[in-house]
Amino acid sequence: MGTESKRQQRFGGVIQQDLAELFLRDGKNWAPGAFITVTKVRVTPDLAIARVYLSFLNTNTAKDDIASIKAKVSEIRYKLGARIKNQARIVPDLEFFLDDTNEYVEHMDRLFDEISKEPRQSD
Strands in 8-105 per DSSP E: 35-43, 49-57, 93-98
Q: Is there a domain that residue 123 lies in? A: no
pTM given for the model = 0.79
| Structural domain boundaries, residue 34 | 6-117
Tens digit of pLDDT for each residue in 63-98?
A: 888 888 999 999 999 999 999 888 888 899 999 998
What's the structural domain count of the chain?
Answer: 1
Asked whether residue 13 is domain-assigned, the answer is: yes
- Is 26 part of any domain? yes
Calpha distance 60→81 (Å, rounded): 31
Give 17-71 pLDDT, tens digit per residue.
Answer: 999 999 999 888 888 888 888 999 999 999 999 999 998 887 778 888 888 899 9
CB atoms within 10 A of CB 42: 18
pLDDT (average), residues 107-113: 82
Are 96 and 105 in contact, with CB atoms under 8 Å apart? Answer: no
CATH at residue 80: 3.30.300.20
Residue 122 within a domain:
no
Rounded CA separation 111/22 (Å)? 36
pLDDT of residue 122: 64
Count the neighbouring beta carbons within 10 Å of the beta carbon of residue 105. 10
